[in-house]
Amino acid sequence: MAGDIIERTAAALLVDKPRTAYEHVLQTLRRAILNGDLCGGTHLIQSEIAGALGVSKTPVREALRELAADGLVNLDAHRSGIVKELSLGELQEIYEIRCTLEPAVLRRAWPHLTNEIVDRAGELHSRINKDSSPAQWVQSNIDFHGCVFGLAPSPRMLDILNGLIAPWSMYVSASLRIDSYNQIRAAKGHEAILKALQDRDLEAGISANVSHLNIAYQTLASALSISHR
């Protein structure tokens, strides 16, 4: 039952329990989806979630709307949610957009690179390799790339890339659950990007990032085909 899964996920988050009921519901559902505990096609019934988390249906409804806006769930006619199914077509579109925009964003961010940002990227790279759950790994990965991309004075391009984070996260989480070695493959790409940052070598950074994206796409597409067998 989804309610049992949600209760267990909420219990695991109690140490960092958010301040509002809405945040509590949102973080619990997001973590359960990204960890694969709530798989694609799972129905998220408002009353069941509210009962499992001890809240009213209002914060549940708000959280489901937010998750739908992020592309993690689809809302049905009764405003309950269904966890989104993964598809190769969407994955391909996500990576086509990223391969087009990220080199341009990186070029715009590069002049604003500082020693502090490079050190931060190094810290995040180390943290990524220590994260255990798919949801934790995904968040550290987002932070690693974001600490550099966020320097770019390109709000429209950043808005597009940020809009891809949630749906992309579902594919990455799925690939990590299928084969943990995918985490090692990603780490090699991060190492090349970090070295380019440390060397202040823009062209090497762009090359490393594009290579990282291509390998990631191939890895995720392969994992997706395995999960659909």
pLDDT tens for each residue of 93-131: 999 999 999 999 999 999 999 999 999 999 999 988 886
Q: How many beta carbons lie within 10 A of that of residue 40, not counting itself?
A: 16
What single DSSP character describes residue 152?
Answer: S
Please, where are the H alpha helices in the chain? 2-12, 21-34, 46-53, 57-70, 88-109, 115-128, 134-149, 155-178, 181-199, 202-227
In three-state secondary structure terms, 72 is coil
**Distance in angstroms (rounded) separating the CA atoms of residues 17 and 88:** 35
User: Rounded to the nearest 10 degrees, how much is the dihedral formed by the CA atoms of 190, 101, 87, 138?
Assistant: 30
- Per-residue pLDDT tens listing for the chain (229 residues): 566 666 655 555 444 555 789 999 999 999 888 878 888 899 999 999 999 999 999 999 999 999 999 889 999 877 789 999 999 999 999 999 999 999 999 999 999 999 999 999 999 999 888 866 777 888 889 999 999 999 999 999 999 999 999 888 888 888 887 776 677 788 899 999 999 999 999 999 999 999 999 998 998 898 887 666 5
As a CATH number, domain 2-83 is: 1.10.10.10
Q: What is the CA radius of gyration of the chain?
A: 18
What pLDDT is recorded for position 15? 43
pLDDT score at 76: 85
User: What residues does each domain of the chain span?
Assistant: 2-83, 88-227
> 10 Å Cβ neighbour count for 78?
8
On whether the CB atoms of residues 48 and 2 are closer than 8 A, the answer is yes
Instruction: For residue 141, give the nearest of 165, 159, 158 by alpha carbon.
Output: 165
DSSP string, 2-43: HHHHHHHHHHHTGGG--SSHHHHHHHHHHHHHHTTSS-TT-E
Alpha-carbon distances of 32 from 5, 9, 85, 140, 154, rounded to whole Å: 7, 6, 15, 17, 32
Superfamily for the 88-227 domain: GntR ligand-binding domain-like (1.20.120.530)
Question: Tokens standing for 74?
Answer: 């689809």
Question: Model-level pTM?
Answer: 0.80
Strand partners, 81: 44, 75
What's the CA gap between 52 and 24, in Å, rounded? Answer: 12
For residue 217, the model assigns a pLDDT of 92
φ, ψ for residue 18, nearest 5 deg? -70, 170
Looking at residue 153, what DSSP letter applies?
A: S
